[in-house]
């Protein structure tokens, strides 16, 4: 349905304009989206869902991890079961979550939220503005705080 769509995967669906659904049971809708992972969904504009069971929505996003989900603008969820949302966020650790603007969650179960915050320790949590949680199980919150040791907590 629409114009210049390609549905080449088994039971795949492509609707809108210039979409490609090449994964088995993949779904692409909107404009210039690619759903190449099996059971993947890409919707909106210029999104790619290449991981099996991945979901990309919004504009210019990539969901490449198995079971990953990305939404917003220019964000990436590249690890299994990762979730990135907002503007230019990156969830690169397994089961990680990055949300807000310019945040990165790069280790297993890490969570970064706010603006330009980084959670790079296993199971770490960075929230606020320019915060860093790099120790395992660490938590930083506020503005410019850093929790760099294991189990550390910084706020301010």
Q: What pLDDT score does 111 carry? A: 98
Same-domain pairing of 16 and 85: no
Same-domain pairing of 20 and 50: yes
Same-domain pairing of 57 and 111: no
Q: What pLDDT score does 135 carry? A: 98
Same-domain pairing of 154 and 103: yes
Tokens 């660490």 belong to 138
Could you tell me the residue range of the domain that residue 57 belongs to? 1-68
Count of structural domains within the chain: 2
Q: What pLDDT score does 142 carry? A: 98
Same-domain pairing of 154 and 79: yes
Same-domain pairing of 109 and 153: yes
- Residues of the chain short of pLDDT 50, as ranges, are none
Q: What pLDDT score does 7 carry? A: 97
Q: What pLDDT score does 1 carry? A: 72
- Report the predicted TM-score, pTM, of the whole model to 2 decimal places: 0.96
Q: What pLDDT score does 90 carry? A: 98
Strands ordered across the beta sheet of 13-17: 2-3, 13-17, 27-31, 41-45, 55-59, 69-73, 83-87, 97-101, 111-115, 125-129, 139-143, 153-155
């Amino acid at each position: 349905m629409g114009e210049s769509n390609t549905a080449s995967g088994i039971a795949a669906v492509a609707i809108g304009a210039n979409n490609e659904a090449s994964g088995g049971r993949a779904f692409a809708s909107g404009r210039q989206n690619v759903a190449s992972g099996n059971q993947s969904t890409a919707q909106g504009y210029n999104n790619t869902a290449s991981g099996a069971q991945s979901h990309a929505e919004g504009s210019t996003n990539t969901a490449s991890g198995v079971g990953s989900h990305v939404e917003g603008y220019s964000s990436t969820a590249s690890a299994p079961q990762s979730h990135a949302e907002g503007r230019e966020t990156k969830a690169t650790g397994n089961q990680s979550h990055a949300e807000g603007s310019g945040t990165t969650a790069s280790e297993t179960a890490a969570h970064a939220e706010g603006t330009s915050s980084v959670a790079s320790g296993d199971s770490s949590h960075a929230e606020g503005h320019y915060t860093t949680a790099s120790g395992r199980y660490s938590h930083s919150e506020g503005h410019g705080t850093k929790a760099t040791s294991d189990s550390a907590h910084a706020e301010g």
